[in-house]
Amino acid sequence: MCSSYIAGLKPGDVFCGYVRVPSPAFAPPADPATPLILIGPGTGIAPLRGFLEERAWQHANGTHVGLSQVFVGCRHPEHDYFYRQEMQAWEHAGIAQVHSAYSAVTGHPARFVQDAVAGAADTVWQAIQDGAYIYVCGDGRRMAPAVREALAVIHRKHTGSDDEGARQGLAQLEADERYQQDVFA
């Protein structure tokens, strides 16, 4: 955070800041067998990467971990796909299934992460039915509301509910702390 500013500091300079503690805590569930849905375009993937690193460590030490559905987005896979090799390794190890969105690649089926979520609607719904926790990290102005709408569409499709039913379904996931956001405006 503020890497350019911090890089310009000299030894002895004072930096004032604070650590924002999200409420509820933005952390994976205690049971590593719980499936996860992780949605983070760009730098929003960073905290979610920590969840995956922990799951990879648990898996390597013999613990059964639930599958993570990971929705990651960037402009172009050859230019700014953060943690690409790690994502591929976690997918290869069976820890994650990675769904990518590329906003600058013409013809790619998912331009934004919400498009990738919509494209994997049946997989997302099954994960939710299996008890998955959903974590969204990144832009709170456009991405987070668009992801929420994609999830509402999935809810309506699979339950036959109306807009109010979908809103209540997502509100229940939030109340159960199974839908959490760490977003910035």
pLDDT at 93 over 80: yes
> Is the model's pTM score more than 0.85?
yes
Report pLDDT digits (tens) over 41-62: 988 999 999 999 999 999 999 9
Percent of the chain with pLDDT over 90: 82
How far apart, in whole angstroms, are the C-alpha atoms of residue 116 and residue 147? 10
CATH number at residue 159: 3.40.50.80
pLDDT reported for residue 23: 65
Strand partners, 39: 71, 136
Report pLDDT digits (tens) over 2-22: 678 888 889 999 888 777 776
Residue 166 lies in a domain: yes
Q: How many domains does the chain have?
A: 1
DSSP character at residue 69? E
Confidence band for 154, pLDDT divided at 50, 70 and 90: very high
Residue 99 lies in a domain: yes
Residue 133 lies in a domain: yes
Residue 20 lies in a domain: no
Mean pLDDT computed over 107-126: 97
Confidence band for 1, pLDDT divided at 50, 70 and 90: low
Domain interval for residue 141: 31-184
Residue 176 lies in a domain: yes
Report pLDDT digits (tens) over 62-86: 999 999 999 999 999 988 888 999 9
Buried b (16+ CB within 10 A) or exposed e, 111-132: ebbbbbbbbbbebbbebbeeeb
Task: Please name the residues in contact with 96: beta carbons below 8 A apart, sequence gap of 6 or more.
Answer: 38, 52, 55, 67, 68, 69, 70, 87, 90
79 CB-contact burial (10 Å; exposed 0-12 / middle 13-18 / buried 19+)? exposed
Residue 146 lies in a domain: yes
